[in-house]
């Protein structure tokens, strides 16, 4: 179960897509669907909603299978200044099932953790060229939390570099601490590009590790997905994360959406 909690936590921090359209205020940029965060903030005075509408993944062991499903995981954002936005992350429905020899031996359905995040854009929010931001966060377990029992906090540093008019290279590094005991370091790189019409796509490598010891637990995935722009301020997305090491999920599929509006 400890392995599963770490994987679910990493999935909660999942991520940014390239800008799909030009707007007067700033192109829509979301912290999804890849696991690399976006360095761009929500415009001042605007609200932005990002959600895993449905997400499910699986780990197959020698004698055991663990399946996790979540619905309507939400990241609600508000642009408090031109360079800062505040975010609230919550998973209202999470179900974890464990099977042995094809029979469900245990299952649990409850809420996931509650996260508070703040993004500080350092450079690149409204000018052409590279962008960089700081994103500190804290996640606390909710009553009956199906994912975490401990407070988790940390910071990531997302970077994005435009590649021509229709693509972007993104990267992220960070560190997190679980209940003042386990320290995790993480890094990712992501390449996004317009495909055709209102479709865009990404491919990504993500890795995290709970220490620098040779016996440390790893979480590593190769990820891919597509987005579809519904005008300037809304998009749909879908994709998959493929596990590269034994400790991570074998796969996780998701469908999601992002949108923003001004009051």
CA geometry: angle 28, 33, 37, nearest 5 deg:
70
How far is CA 187 from each of CA 34, 36, 218, rounded to the nearest angstrom? 13, 8, 12
Taking only the tens place, the pLDDT of each residue in 225-257 is 999 999 999 999 999 999 998 888 899 999 999
Does 263 map to a domain? no
Does 213 map to a domain? yes
Question: What secondary structure does DSSP assign to 31-81, as a single string?
Answer: S-SSSSPPSPPPPBT-EEEEEEEEEEEEEE-SSEEEEEEEEEEEEEEEE-S
Return the pLDDT at 146. 63
213 versus 66: which is more confidently predicted?
A: 66
Does 261 map to a domain? no
Taking only the tens place, the pLDDT of each residue in 8-44 is 444 444 433 333 333 357 889 999 999 999 999 999 9
| Mean of pLDDT over the chain | 87
Does 145 map to a domain? yes
For the entire predicted model, the pTM comes to 0.86
Return the pLDDT at 214. 65
Number of domains in the chain: 1
Domain coverage including residue 75: 2-252
Taking only the tens place, the pLDDT of each residue in 121-135 is 999 998 889 999 999
What six digits make up the tokens of 139? 């996640």
Domain CATH number, residue 141: 2.40.160
Asked if residue 62 lies in contact with residue 69, where contact means CB atoms within 8 angstroms, the answer is no
Return the pLDDT at 22. 36
Strand residues in the chain grouped as ranges (E)? 47-60, 64-79, 84-90, 93-100, 103-110, 114-123, 131-140, 152-163, 167-178, 182-196, 199-209, 218-229, 234-243, 251-261
């Amino acid at each position: 179960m400890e392995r599963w909690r770490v994987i679910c936590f990493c999935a909660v921090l999942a991520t940014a897509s390239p800008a799909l359209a030009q707007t007067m205020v700033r192109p829509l940029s979301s912290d999804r669907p890849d696991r690399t965060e976006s360095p761009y903030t929500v415009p001042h005075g605007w609200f932005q909603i990002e959600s895993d509408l449905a997400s499910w993944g699986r780990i197959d062991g020698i004698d055991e299978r663990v399946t996790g499903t979540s619905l309507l995981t939400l990241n609600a954002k508000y642009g408090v200044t031109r360079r800062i936005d505040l975010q609230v992350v919550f998973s209202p429905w999470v179900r974890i099932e464990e099977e042995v020899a094809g029979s469900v031996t245990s299952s649990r359905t409850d809420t996931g953790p509650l996260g508070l995040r703040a993004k500080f854009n350092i450079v690149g929010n409204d000018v052409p060229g590279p962008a960089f931001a700081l994103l500190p966060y804290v996640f606390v377990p909710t009553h009956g939390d199906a994912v975490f029992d401990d407070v988790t906090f940390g910071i990531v540093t997302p970077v994005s570099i435009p590649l021509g008019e229709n693509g972007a290279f993104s990267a992220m590094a960070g560190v997190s601490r679980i209940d003042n005991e386990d320290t995790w370091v993480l890094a990712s790189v992501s390449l996004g590009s317009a495909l055709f019409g209102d479709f865009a796509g990404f491919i990504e490598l993500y890795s995290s590790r709970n220490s620098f010891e040779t016996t440390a637990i790893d979480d590593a995935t190769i990820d891919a997905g597509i987005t579809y722009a519904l005008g300037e301020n809304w998009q749909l997305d879908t994709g998959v994360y493929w596990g590269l090491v034994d400790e991570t999920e074998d796969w996780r599929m998701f469908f999601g959406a992002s949108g923003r509006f001004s009051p």
